[in-house]
Chains A and B, each alone.
Chain A
Amino acid sequence: MIAEAGLAALWFAAVLALLQLFLVGMGLAGGKGEVLGAVRPVAILQGVLTAGAFVALISLFLRSDMSVLLVATNSHSAKPWLYKFAGTWGNHEGSMLLWVTVMGVAGAAVALFERALKRDAHMATLGAQAAISLGFYAFLLFSSNPFARISPAPADGQGLNPLLQDPGLAFHPPTLYLGYVGLSVAFSFAVGSLLTRQVDAAFARAMRPWVLAAWIMLTLGITAGSYWAYYELGWGGWWFWDPVENASLMPWLAATALLHSVTVLATRDALRAWTVMLAVVAFSMSMVGTFLVRSGILTSVHAFAVDPERGSFILALLALYIGGALALFGWRIGTVREGAPFELVSRETFLVVNNLLLSVILGLVLIGTLYPLMTEAFGHKVSVGAPYFDRIAGPIALILLIVMAAGPLTRWRRDQARAVAGRMLIPAGVALAAVVLVGALAWGRIGLLPYCGLVVALAVGVGSLAPLWKRNLRRTPLFTYGMVIAHLGCAVSLAGMACDSAFTIEKLVAARPGDTIETAGWTLRFQRILPLAGDNWTALQADVIAERNGRAVVIHPQSRFFASPPTTTTEAALLTRWNGQLYVVLGQEADAGRWQMRIWWKPFVTLIWLGGIMIALGGLLALIGRERRGWLMKWRARRAMA
């Protein structure tokens, strides 16, 4: 029953989306303005129905209803409830339903809460949102039905990929999807504003909270994914330039650029066409990412579906929406004036350079990710990975960070080059000191890129605090704090990356219980190995006493075996100290009685994710600050009227 109800809700929602598109078309192009009143309730009902369908699927997973094909192939009755719950979206169909649900709920929110836009622009936005949703409903209903039954029902399910059985992974996909779909709202705003010829500051202010919220979610999703890869894969790497990682990085890069250009548009009414273009690109990147991941065109841990039919379906959607939006852009952009002028030395210029560099990095990641696919089509298999991306995107990212520190120290519209240079004096001094200091400490021991990374991180860290210099800290608006914290977060994260690649100490040993291992100031005493059983796994666990400066802690690296499907995973033991992390992995039995152990001491590695969290927090403060200011202004206006 539940499965059928869920499917019915999904069909109703799809019909409502069609109705919504039709109503908007009739109201705006057909000249029947009176039907527009029905659009908002339709959008809201659609959101409720999609949420209902998703709740239905969750309950099927929680009940382990094996008569539903999706549950039978992706779940198991012996799994802990958290992973039954998370298993709902740990597969192709479920994750697409999540996508559609977030989209439906976001559409309802746009219908309910958006007040800044003129009515026709608002309606056109909802029409665009309905048009995008329709494609994904069709995809779900025709090629990825999550509610399909299986008869006869199997006795039990096949289980979830054990690598995905991790609390971090339970919440990583929904976070990313919230980000992806948030960008679909920005896309709809852009299409709506193009259709109604209202590309202006009001449009930017209406779009900004959605861009900010999506960007915060993407930031958190990427940070969480990176940390998951770090501790779960068991080799201490935190970013692999895997195509699936790139698929999440590309929308983030586009959203970061959009976030900055939308601020220029909202504050200064400049960069109109460019902002619309970026909104289109940002959601396109979300769809390209989804296509790459969902089509199985790149085989990876994440590509659950290896199915060409689905791949071509998403590819068709991709072509339709991106092509349609670009055609609309080309058709209408002639009527959009570029907006307020600015001089070469101005904050606008720095933001344009920021956009330029972010776009170049985005282009490089896209080309690098797709290049092997292109050459493979011509029968030549090649690999593009970290050695390329590090060397090529790394230096550009460093320049970007320097621009990031300089931008906030420059005034809008016009500024004096000399005055800007004066404000940069302290960060420049820090940079110089860092060049000497880091050089004296580590020259010859570390590579050029980590060296530059450390110097830039120190200088930009100080420089990002400079906007607060000589200001009344209590009067400084919340969104300025947000910016400062986010920019500081970038420097913190960079410092972590540079320290990890410059100073990590690796030790591989084959040890017998009773052995003592010395590395990087730590003394590790390997006590014993014990078997262990969990809910749906068995494990071998080592007891190791880690000692530094006279203080000892017991840690337990584990090697886990899952029966369904049969897989071995390593559970690294992490010991976090203020100045780094000790990372211990228990490997295979090398020979009689000796066990392989991989031990890393990673100085300041945690700064990478701390920086990520700071960036997201900065975004949150900016969001609250901007929105609160809007509410306050509205409230005051209402008071003044009364």
Chain B
Amino acid sequence: MRALISLLLLMLAAPVHAQTALPPAPFADRQLDDAALERKAKALMETIRCLTCQSQSIADSNASMAGDMRSEIRERIRAGEEPEHIRRWLIERYGDWVSYEPTAAPILWPLWAAPIVLLALGLLLMRGRIKRRPRA
């Protein structure tokens, strides 16, 4: 019974709690002490999309959610997790949309063919031009 009441109280309390301005997550704007780990975390953050802003990575966003994600990434990197593992975890949670990394989702693979196709097309056009050149 007591457990039920406290559960009810908790459910009531949660929205109230969410309304108060939470302090930012511990590592939202705090670098890791180990410079190499911080670089690793930063590189990952630059390829993760801020979900509440427009076309920004979480590495350069003021949104509180981006701050929470930065903190999460820094803590996981500090705990020794690999960046790609964290990315997979984020993609599982938020979908492919969260990652800017074009190697991550198979649906993005055709993008890698684009430069080759375009260059080949252009060269073909150009070759035709120079071949047709009549001698003046």
**A interface residues (Cβ-Cβ under 8 A, vs B):** 233-237, 240-244, 298-301, 338, 341-344, 349, 352-353, 356, 359-360, 363-364, 367-368, 371, 375, 380-388, 391-392, 396, 506-510, 568, 570, 587-588, 590-591, 596, 598
Contact = CB atoms under 8 A, between A and B. Distances in A.
B24 to A, nearest CB: 6
Contact of A381 (B24, B46, B95, B114): B95
B60 interface: yes
Contacts of B123: 356
A269 to B, nearest CB: 12
A281 to B, nearest CB: 13
A387 B100 contact: yes
B115 A392 contact: yes
Given A233-B60, A591-B23, A363 B118 contact: yes
B99 to A, nearest CB: 6
19 contacts: A233-B56, A235-B60, A300-B55, A301-B54, A342-B133, A343-B133, A356-B119, A356-B126, A359-B118, A360-B118, A382-B96, A383-B96, A384-B102, A385-B47, A385-B57, A386-B46, A387-B102, A391-B102, A392-B111
Interface hub of A298, A371, A380, A382 (most chain B Cβ within 10 A): A382
B30 A510 contact: yes
A469 to B, nearest CB: 29
Contacts of A363: 114, 118
Given A360-B115, A375-B107, 10 more contacts: A242-B56, A300-B55, A356-B119, A360-B122, A368-B114, A381-B95, A382-B105, A510-B29, A570-B62, A590-B29
B130 interface: yes
Contacts of A243: 55
Contact of B126 (A299, A343, A352): A352
B115 A236 contact: no
B63 to A, nearest CB: 11
Interface string B50-73: 000011110111100000000000
Contacts of B115: 360, 364, 392, 396
A318 B12 CA distance: 53
Interface residues of B, number: 45
Nearest to B100: A385
Given A380-B107, A508-B29, A364 B114 contact: yes
A352 B107 CA distance: 33
Given A385-B57, A590-B24, A341 B136 contact: yes
A477 to B, nearest CB: 27
B55 A384 contact: no
Contacts of B61: 235
Contact of B111 (A342, A343, A344, A368): A368
Interface string B74-111: 00000000000000000000011111111001011001
Contacts of A387: 46-47, 100-102
A384 B23 contact: no
A261 B46 CA distance: 37
Identify the 8 closest CB pairs spanning chains A and B, nearest first.
A235-B60, A385-B100, A242-B55, A381-B97, A388-B102, A300-B54, A356-B122, A360-B118
Nearest to A372: B97
A236 B62 CA distance: 12
Contact of B100 (A244, A356, A384): A384
A382 B108 CA distance: 8
Contacts of A381: 95-97
B2 interface: no
A356 B124 CA distance: 11
Contact of A341 (B111, B119, B134): B134
B54 A242 contact: yes
Nearest to B70: A508
A349 B130 contact: yes
Contact of B49 (A244, A385, A568): A385
A359 B105 CA distance: 27
Nearest to B94: A381
Nearest to B136: A341
B28 to A, nearest CB: 8
A388 B107 contact: no
A598 B29 contact: yes
B129 interface: yes
Contacts of B133: 341-343
Contacts of B60: 233, 235-237, 240
B129 A367 contact: no
A382 B104 CA distance: 10
Contacts of B100: 383-388
A243 B62 CA distance: 20
A238 to B, nearest CB: 10
A383 B130 contact: no
A380 B106 CA distance: 11
B49 A383 contact: yes
